[in-house]
């Protein structure tokens, strides 16, 4: 029985060795799985961190673009306001120049009338007013004679200028 016993012991030893081998293989497989899970988890964490950095960079880029857009709009508005102000000043200058030219032209017309008639514009107006007043008195008295207030020696262009003044 010793041989049987030895065979049984050897059989048990083989089973025990097989069991140990299987147990070692299971541990190695579990360790490999844990290693794989750990790598995957590490990779996932790194990817998430990378996504976070990318999101932050995108937000930063978007904020930078928005800031640049605001600055551009602000600059354009400043340019527009300056252009409008320049336009207003130019219009005011043009208006003042037109007024100055009108006054100068009026002065020149008055001087031309004084030279041509020998009277100042105020004197001509007084004469015409007086003449018109006499005409009204004569008509009210019943006289058939009418008085013309038109100055015949003044060219027709100057008459229009006198009336305009």
Q: What pLDDT was estimated at residue 3?
A: 84
Kindly list the domain boundaries of the chain, sorted by start residue.
27-98, 119-165
**Cβ-based neighbour number of residue 29 at 10 Å:** 10
Q: Cβ(127)–Cβ(119) under 8 Å?
A: yes
Helices and strands of the chain, counted as H and E runs: 3, 0
* DSSP letter, residue 22: H
Q: What is the pLDDT of residue 139?
A: 61
Tell me the residue length of the chain: 165
> From first to last of its 165 residues, what are the pLDDT tens digits of the chain?
688 888 888 898 999 999 999 999 999 999 999 999 999 999 999 999 999 999 999 999 999 999 999 999 999 999 999 999 999 999 999 999 999 999 999 999 888 878 887 877 788 788 888 888 776 666 655 555 554 445 555 555 555 455 545
Q: What's the confidence (pLDDT) of residue 138?
A: 63
By C-alpha distance, which of 130, 162, 164 is closest to 147?
A: 130
CB atoms closer than 10 angstroms to residue 121: 16
Tokens of 124: 């001509």
**Which uninterrupted H or E stretch holds 140?**
helix 121-141
Is the entire prediction scored with pTM above 0.85?
Answer: no
* Cβ(147)–Cβ(135) below 8 Å: yes
């Amino acid at each position: 029985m010793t041989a049987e016993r030895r065979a049984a012991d050897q059989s048990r030893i083989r089973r025990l060795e097989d069991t140990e081998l299987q147990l070692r293989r299971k541990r190695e497989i579990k360790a490999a799985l844990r290693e794989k899970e750990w790598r995957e988890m590490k990779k996932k964490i790194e990817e998430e961190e990378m996504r976070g950095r990318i999101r932050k960079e995108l937000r930063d880029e978007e904020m930078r673009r928005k800031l640049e857009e605001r600055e551009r709009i602000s600059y354009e508005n400043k340019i527009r306001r300056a252009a409008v102000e320049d336009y207003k000043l130019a219009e005011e200058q043009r208006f003042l120049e037109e007024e100055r030219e009108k006054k100068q032209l009026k002065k020149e017309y008055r001087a031309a009338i004084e030279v041509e008639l020998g009277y100042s514009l105020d004197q001509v107006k007084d004469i015409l007013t007086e003449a018109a007043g006499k005409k009204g008195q004569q008509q009210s008295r019943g006289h058939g004679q009418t008085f013309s207030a038109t100055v015949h020696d003044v060219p027709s262009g100057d008459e229009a200028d006198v009336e305009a003044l």
